[in-house]
Structures are given as C-alpha cells and as structure tokens.
Structure 1
Amino acid sequence: MPELNLKLPAHVALLGYGGLVPFVGLVILSGVDPARAAVWGRALVGYGAVILSFVGALHWGFAMTAAGIGLAQRRRAFVWSVVPALLAWPATLMTTPAAALLLVLGFALHFAEDRRLAGVAALPSWYLPLRWRLTVVASVCLLAYVWRGAGQG
C-alpha cells in the first residue's frame, strides 16, 4: 500500500479545507451581524453536528477496509463510528453554547480515536495531520462563538 503514504492529495485537501468554510464563515457572520448572531450560531451547531457525524462514519469505512487491524479493533472501530452521531444529535437540541461545547468535546474525542486507530491500522500518513488541522479550526470556531457570548440562543 505505498500509495497510501504519499503526500496529501490536492482534491482531499480542497475538500477537507473547503469544509472549514462554513465554520469560519458562520462565526464571522455572528460577529458582523450581531442582530442575527443566534441564527448564525444555530447554523454553526447544525453544521458542526453534520461534520461530527461524518467523521464518525470514517471509522465505519476503516472498520470495513483497513489492513492491519484484528477482529477486536475492527469491532471497536464499528462501535466508535456511531458515537460521534450520538453526541452530535443531542447537540442540535441544546442551547447553542452548550451544544458548541459538546461538539468540541466530540471532535476532541474523535481525534483521540483517530490517533488510536492510526496506531494499529494502515492509514495514509497525511490522515492524522489533516484531521488535526481540521479539528483545531472547527473547534476554535465553535469556541470563539461561545467565548464571544454570541450564543445565547
């Protein structure tokens, strides 16, 4: 599998970093349009919940296809793959500040699980650095919204 360890493919970078645009854009909108900050905050939480669910699904795919993992590790990846969605869904029902904090916790837990899986599975060498950068930016945006006190809705 040497092709897995090449540098980050351009199309993956574009898709990954492009997925940060709504995080950054919505937190900026909440600052420049304070009259609708609560609306932008709900949109930020909704998008964060979708993305957290998406990254959980990555582990379902890894569980089905990753080389180098045993039955117990494969089972753990399948089980873990649904946990982010189970964290994201209640976030959509909470107040915005609490929801944003729950999503940040979910992203942090997921990155920890990514690191654990990368230790036993043959994942691309670019995967963890990319996931780290995406996790940091998404989390900083969610925390910035909460910190600014905009999310009272």
Structure 2
Amino acid sequence: MLAPSRIPPRLVALLGYGGLLPFLALAALAWLDPPRQARWSGALLEYGAVILAFVGALHWALAMQATTLAQARRAQAYAWSVVPALIAWGALQLAPGPAALLLVVGFTLHLWADRTLAARMPLPAWYLPLRLRLTAVACACLLAEAWRSAGIA
C-alpha cells in the first residue's frame, strides 16, 4: 500500500502558491514605492483580511461534509469558521502596524485550528504541510508590513 502523498494536487499547489503572489508583491511595493506606500499597505492588509476570511470558511465546508465528526465537534467547526472573518474585519479597523499583527495572530490561530481539526477527521496528507507553508509566507509579508509601518527599517 502506498503512503498518502504529502504533495498537493497540481491545481491546488498552483492556486495556493499563486495566492501568495499578491502578499509578496504588495509587501515589496509597500517598501519600495514610498510615494504610493499607503496604497500598497492598504491593499496588502485588505488582501490579508480576505484570505483570512476565506481560510476560516474552510471549517464551515468541512463541518458540512465530515461524517466522522461528533455533533459537538461539528458545532465547534461551524462556530470557529466565522472567527477568522471577525478577526480580519477587526484588523481593518486598525492602523497598518497593529492591523498586520492582528492578521498574523488570525492566521496563526487558524493554523492551530486546522491542526486540531486534522486530529479529529481525515484530511489529505498534503493539507497541513501546504497550509503551514502558505501561512508562513503570508505572515512573513504581514510582519514585514508591521515592521515597515513601525518605522523600524
């Protein structure tokens, strides 16, 4: 019997890694284009908020499909699924530095929630490693923005 693949399907990898391009480009532009820094920073934070809300919705979808989850765990997954969107919305109410940090907290909490859910239901072997890589790059870009907006550079 073959071990489950830790390599995501090609389309999943293209979409996941492709979704990092706006993080990378906007973080770089916020550093490299001072005249339009506020525009790039705002776009980075907005994109981060949208993606955080998107990953939260994954738990809603999994709760709908997971036949192995106990009812209480299913309810927890539904409830958790809205928390990232609330964190994202809250972040957009803040100045850029604190907003970026709150988004990092949201992505980190969601990765923890994904790991918790994966312990309770079968997920593809590639899912958590991919989520870790995507989360790490998104958080690095957001931390760069927090650092830039704090004037540390």
> Tell me, which stretches of 5 or more residues in structure 2 are unaligned?
none
2-structure distance, mates of 1:148, 1:30: 8
Q: Is the 8 A contact 2:52 2:103 kept in 1?
A: yes
User: Which residue of the partner structure matches residue 36 of structure 2?
Assistant: 36
Q: After alignment, is 134-143 or 31-40 more displaced?
A: 31-40
Q: Which residue of 2 aligns with 1:65?
A: 65
The number of aligned residues is 148
Aligned to 2:16: 16
Q: Which has the higher contact order (CA 8 A, sep 6+)?
A: 1
**Matching residue of 1:85:** 85
- Report the Cα distance in structure 1 between the residues aligned to 2:150 and 2:47, rounded to whole angstroms: 17
Whole-Å separation in 2 of the counterparts to 1:145 and 1:103: 11
TM-score, structure 1 normalization: 0.92
Cα deviation digits, residues 58-108 of structure 1 (max 9, x gap):
000000012421111111000000000010012112111111000000000
Q: Which runs of 4+ in 1 moved over 2 A?
A: 148-151
Matched, 1:26 2:26: yes
Q: Is the CA contact (8 Å cut-off) linking 1:67 and 1:122 kept in structure 2?
A: no
Say whether 1:119 aligns with 2:119.
yes
- Check whether the contact 1:30–1:150 (CA below 8 A) recurs between aligned residues: no
Query: Match for residue 133 of structure 1?
Result: 133
Matched residues in 1 for 2:133 and 2:83: separation?
A: 21
- Asked if the contact 1:52–1:85 (Cα under 8 Å) also holds between the matched residues in 2, the reply is yes
SS, match of residue 149 in structure 2:
coil
Q: Measure the CA separation in 2 of the matches of 1:55 and 1:66.
A: 17
| Distance in 2 between residues matched to 1:34 and 1:11, nearest whole Å | 36
Equivalent residue of 1:122, what SS?
coil
Alpha-carbon distance in structure 2 between the residues aligned to 1:9 and 1:60: 22
Identity %, equivalent residues: 57
CA RMSD in angstroms, aligned pairs only: 1.5
AA at the equivalent of 1:34: P
